[in-house]
Structure 1
Amino acid sequence: MDDTAILKRRGYIMGINLGEGSYAKVKSAYSERLKFNVAVKIIDRKKAPTDFVEKFLPREIEILAMLNHRSIIKTYEIFETSDGKVYIVMELGVQGDLLEFIKTRGALKEDDARKKFHQLSSAIKYCHDLDVVHRDLKCENLLLDKDFNIKLTDFGFSKRCLRDDSGRLTLSKTFCGSAAYAAPEVLQGIPYQPKVYDIWSLGVILYIMVCGSMPFDDSNIKKMLCIQKEHRLNFPRSKHLTGECKDLISRMLQPDVNRRLHIDEILSHCWVQPKAWGLSSAAVNKEGESSRATEPSWTLEPGSEKKSATKVEPQEEAQPKTKPKEDTVQVARQSETVSISNEQLTKETEAGTPQQPPETHT
């Protein structure tokens, strides 16, 4: 039977196509039981790479079945047919994904960004507390419900972290994700702490939320890596971002993994905390930060001679001469999924590496 007939037997009326790849596709459908529209990811085991079928798909199914958080796309049902097709019925993000939202409307105001970022951070804390890591956090994987609340999706590269005999998390050696959101240690092919990797991606997402552009140009990975390792970060002056917001982004986009914030520190940062949303930039250091004591303070005052942990330079100096408008997201390459080796930067489509299912633009 075809997909329409199979879904009909399970009580779903097939709708439009939402995305399609070489071995997976996403369809909308109406659930006669739930009485509302859902998204159905259909994966064909016969067409999928062996590595994906044997490792990544079982992980995704296991993790989706255990997650239950208001800011994570709900999974209603998972079933498989005898011919090797897997059907994952999920909550539908009716307002599309965050990337399209920002491309259409431009950068978010800080209050709106704070709300959405808090929802996302809460979802990541929930996962990290379960020792689950996402490893592919990006704006395309953040869907919006009818009220424009964040819903995290696509756990195709997620995994449950293992611990050694002393209880410490073991390092991950699978280099996956999207180059524009990947942490320096991943780009360098260094075994990494996956939770710490997720934090870097969160920093990129928040930057895009409030700036409407990418923090780094991923057209030249080696050059981008050098800039990241030097902790150089530029904010567009036209956005008039608060010092607290810049401070949080800088501490997430920290190349030193021992100084990068943890998820609990992000949620307790003064910019994220509701009680401190009205604080001025001058109050940041006075009130105290949630970050480690080793993190130096830095200023954003124009003309200041005090050295800061992050070089904050005019956005114009960091952009190419033919830069787009500041309110548009530079995303020509960010949807490419890559795998990084020590020898060279290679695309994820090489033999032996799993290809990611299609983006769930639901």
Structure 2
Amino acid sequence: MDKDVVLRRRGYILGISLREGSYAKVKSAYSERLKINVAIKIIDRKRAPADFLEKFLPRELRVLTILNHSCIIKTYEIFETVQGKIYIIMELGSQGDLLDFIKVQGALQEDDARKKFHQLSLAIKYCHDLDIVHRDLKCENLLLDNDFNIKVSDFGFSKCCSRDQSGQLTLSRTFCGSAAYAAPEVLQGIPYQPKVYDIWSLGVILYIMVCGTMPYDDSNIKRMLRLQKEHRVNFPRYKPLTRECKDLIYRMLQPDVNQRLHIDQILSHCWLQPKTQGLSSAVTDEVESSWRAEASCTPKPCSDRKSTAKLELQKEAPPKEQPETNLDEHTVQVAMQLEALGISNQKVAKKPERTPCSKQSPEKQT
């Protein structure tokens, strides 16, 4: 049955194509039931690779049943047809993605970057508190709603982390994501802490927000990795930034995973507070001396192409199953849809109440 007919019967009027790949595409549509525009991700099982169908797709669908945060793209419905097409009905990022926004508008002023990065950080804290990691954070996966609020999307590489007997998160061995946003430990192909990987990507994103360029040139991975391991972060002279903003970026782009900030430390950093307090002179001198030593690192402009360099996927041990808890109405609805697709919902946990991403964020979801 034609996809237009399938969607029409479910109350969706198909619109334009937003993204298209070899086995998946995203289209806009209007929901007669919800009375809003939505995005529909259509996955063709017959064209998708086996590794994606066996590992990444089930993980993504499980994660989507858990997430419920106003700074994360909402999932409304999931269903599959007998023809092997999976339909994921999602919230629409009506203003496009952050990378395209920066290409048109240029680097953001710090006040605007602070608001958007605060929204992003709250979304990642929400995920990390649930032991969910994204592992593909980049500007292309940050969508903007009608009011230009951040909405995190594309959880294709996400997973629910498992813990060992001591309660520590197990290391990940799936090396995925985009090279320009990847942490040095991931580029080196060694087992890594997935939450700490997300933090590095946040540092790259904030740098792009306020500088309008990439912090490292990913056309030469070997050189980029060397600069990262030397903790070189060069800020363009033509874009004056506050010391607090530079400090936050510098501490997120920390090659030592034991010294890299955690999400709670990011949210408590002085730059993200309503009234920032100046850094101590000792901290400022230490950080700025490192910045001055990094003049040889030339930032890479945000080009018209989107970063497509993917890291090689390697086999990873599956996370341990967790006991199922009570589910709210929305989770039960989507979990039942997953069960109809033949995917276990044992990972689904009870979702907390929807958390506003800022006082300025509208309650209504776009």
Give the TM-score taking structure 1 as reference length.
0.83
Note if 1:310 corresponds to 2:305: no
Deviation, structure 1 residue 312: 3.4
Contact 1:40 1:90 in 2 (8 A): yes
Q: Distance in 1 between matches of 2:287 and 2:246?
A: 16
Structure 2 stretches of 5 or more lacking a match?
315-365
Q: Which residue is equivalent to 1:338?
A: 311
Q: Which amino acid aligns with 2:298?
A: Q
- Deviations along 1:185-233, one digit per CA (max 9) or x if unpaired, are 0000010000000000000000000000000000000000000000011
> Which ranges of 4 or more aligned residues in structure 1 deviate by more than 4 Å?
306-309
CA offsets 1:47-87 (integer angstroms, 9 cap, x no match): 10101001100110110111000100010001111121110
Contact 1:237/1:314, CA 8 A, preserved across alignment: no
CA distance in 2, matches of 1:312, 1:54: 48
Query: Cα deviation per residue 1:250-277 (whole Å; 9 max; x = unaligned)?
Result: 0000000000000000000000112x23
Partner of 2:99: 99
Superposition map of 1:266-285 within 5 A: 266-274=266-274, 276-277=275-276, 279=277, 283-285=278-280
Counterparts of 1:65 and 1:307, CA distance in 2: 42
- The reply on whether 1:297 has 2:283 as its aligned counterpart is yes
Q: Secondary structure of the residue that 2:104 maps to in structure 1? A: helix
Distance apart, 1:238 and its partner CA:
1.5
Cα gap change, 1:256 to 1:245, in 2 (>3 Å): same
Query: Matched residues, percent identical?
Result: 71
Alpha carbons of structure 1 residues 234 and 5: separation in structure 2 relative to 1, 3 Å: same
Note if 1:143 corresponds to 2:143.
yes
**Relative to structure 1, is the Cα distance of residues 231 and 330 closer, same or farther in structure 2, using a 3 angstrom cutoff?**
farther
Shift of 1:314: 7.4
Question: Which deviates more from structure 2 when the two are superposed, residues 233-242 or residues 178-187?
Answer: 233-242
CA contact (8 A) 2:203 2:252 kept: yes
Residues in 2 aligned to 1:167 and 1:314: alpha-carbon distance in whole angstroms:
39
Displacement, 1:138?
0.1
**Which residue number in structure 2 is paired with residue 347 of structure 1?**
none
The one-letter code matched in structure 1 to 2:292 is V
Cα deviation, residue 335, structure 1: 2.7
Q: Output one character per residue of 1:22-46: Cα deviation in whole Å (capped at 9) or x when no partner.
A: 0000010000001111000000111
Change in Cα spacing, 1:332 to 1:220, as seen in structure 2 (3 Å) is farther
Residue ranges of structure 1 left out of the alignment (5+ in a row): 287-295, 300-305, 342-361
> Is this contact kept in 2: 1:233–1:250, CA < 8 A?
yes
Residue 271 of structure 1: SS of its match in structure 2?
helix
Displacement after TM superposition at 1:340 (Å)? 6.8
Tell me the CA shift for residue 237 of structure 1. Answer: 1.5
**Counterpart Cα distance in 1 of 2:229 and 2:289:** 12
Indicate how the Cα distance of structure 1 residues 123 and 42 shifts in structure 2: closer, same or farther if over 3 A, else same.
same
CA RMSD of aligned residues (A): 1.9
Please tell me whether the aligned partners of residues 234 and 298 of structure 2 are also in contact (alpha carbons under 8 angstroms).
no
> TM-score under structure 2 normalisation?
0.83
Structure 1 CA distance, aligned partners of 2:90 and 2:194? Answer: 25
* Counterpart-to-counterpart distance in 2, 1:150 and 1:144: 5
Alignment of 1:96-245 (within 5 A): 96-245=96-245
